[in-house]
Structure 1
Amino acid sequence: MHTCRHLIIGISLVLVSAMAIAEQTFSSDKADFRLDTVARNLEHPWSLAFLPDGSQLVTEREGRLRRIENGVLQEKPISGVPELVVSGQGGLLDVILHPDFESNHTLFLSYAHKVSRKGMTTRVARAKLDGNQLSDVEVIFEALPRGATSRHFAGRMEFDRDGNLYIAVGDRGEMDRAQATDDDAGGVHRLTTDGEPAPGNPFIDEPSVNDTFFTYGNRNIQGMTIHPETGEIWSHEHGPKGGDEINIIRAGNNYGWPDVTYGIDYSGVPITDKTTMEGVTDPLHYWDPSIAPSGMAFYTGNRFPQWQGDLFVGALKMRKLVRLKIENGEVREEEDLLEDLGERIRDVRMGPDGVLWLLTDHSNGKVYRILPAE
């Protein structure tokens, strides 16, 4: 009897909490808005993708690919996810649809993978989605060499307008690897959908550099998106203690880690005395202290015309959503949103319904939509 009473009380508290969030209005400098809870009880959700039929795919870091249909999280995960390892920051990471998904039903997953005695790495697999299962699963990219740490897998992916796939690989917590261009760690790789180096890659004719490299000197990219007007790929990455960066990903550029940084080591010891140097691309924007950015999207909808063209970035450590107005390559406005929510924001996506979607990084993670307050 007591167990039933406690269960009822627990369910009631969850419902009251959900109603409170739904009824709460948040204010920004430009617009008032509210949160709509689409789904809950996701175990550390990491990425979100929108299917043509109006449903959504969500990855859980613990290794499950889930579907949301008509606002209901389906209990049974999608089967056929490739073999992966859940360790530290690693697990099932990003999901992205092929540009021609409607005709070929193909998607891509990034994830951490382990081989005994050889260590862990970041992999990307291509697969076909058929109902509630994946088929024709094929690994198209594996970052080598493997490493012993369970940190900085990166894993964010994005397509450009030519259909090339950009894959971020972190430095794996071994900072010097980010400047070693015969080592896949610490950079962005550009591939065709078949896993081949994309034509025109900047180092494709240099024997000492891996052909898939597009940029290097990147510490741990956790957000990646395409600019709606220029078509350029934008990213942000974690600094150490300070020095989180927003960068525009351009062919052949060295983004400096660890030779230059606005951060210091977690121990408090300086990593370098340089914040810029010749041959290194300076960040468009940086945060010090760190906010631990994750997920990013440009707002391109019509539900919030005041936000049109603004860049939105989630924050894990600082538990907020950041709005940035960028003009002529400079940040003109920066506004912190959802600080009262107190949630670690893992992903930010521009939805086909004209509003932003958010994922929260918790053992009981949620999917939110940002809706106008009225």
Structure 2
Amino acid sequence: MTDVRVLLERHKPRLVYDSHEAYFADSAAIWTDSPTNVLKRAGGTVLAKPTKLRLAFLGPKVYGDNTKALDTDAIGDSTRNYAANAAALHKLAKYANRVHGHARRDAQGRLWLQYWLFYYYNDYQLLGPLSGGNHEGDWELVQIRLDAAEQPQQLVFSQHKQAESKAWKDAPKSGATPLVYVARGSHANYFGKGSHWTGNWFDQADGKGPQILPALVLLEDAAPAWVLWPGFWGDTKAGVLPLDSSSPVSPGVRPHWLDPSLLKGVGPKTGAPPVPAPPRTTVQRAGGSLVVSYQAPPEATALAVALRPKGSNGPAVTTAFKLDGAKGEVELPADDREYDVWTSVVGVDGVASEGVRPK
């Protein structure tokens, strides 16, 4: 058998981001190493603060100081300033653009390559000023089943609480590398660009952002120990709205960690509302700001504007504005660099348009 690191490197996914995406898949250490994050008991007792809190501090039964680890413990951001905190950590090369690779045989003896993706924040607000669906921390998964000759046969992409599956021959690829279209804000993984109906919501994955081939972090079944930590990667609790969910648990405590075949793919959902047309916009400089003038379709309730320095492969800075009318302008602070600007709108059903550049 070929060394699993070689196999994981050979087939690691290329992430195709949405034009508005503000959070990229990074090392899991961005969550433990963030200077604003704290590990607490459910009752509020602080177990670890920076700089005591690190990945190496987490374990399946006890922490680095021999305190018992409980499945109700959680690491949370004490400032809630997610975009700024994530952006600051992503700028550091030791954290940026990582995928966590794990190779495991299922109950039938078939070899799977798992690629676990961690995001600082799951932000549906990138679709507009909405309520529901946001949570701290976000673990997503791409996995590939190999045949006896170590050739890819099946792909499974996580999408919220479910997954979608395709045969390798039918999926978009770049050589031996699958292309994964990452949905705006939610980070659900799709086999193509466009608007994807989830049954409760549209995921927008326009594929117009950076394409990133992340660096590999190798995981084993029980190592490093943090993969089996029983707590929550965030202290967000689910509410009552369809999009709401709690912060995620570690990869190693999930059933499909030891048997990847347990993550089943489902078919496309039906009953989707229409997707709104994108806005018509122009942009001009005004001192230390960019002024975006817009004409939105009648059904639009919000405008989202994403800024990314020209030539950058980093996350965008995305701002959402409630709309009081179909025409108007919004102003965003910007330094003297050149920027790529993307705009989109959100309709009355909360459905987002694709991103477009101003004329």
TM-score by length of structure 2 reads 0.26
Higher strand proportion: 1
TM-score by length of structure 1 reads 0.25
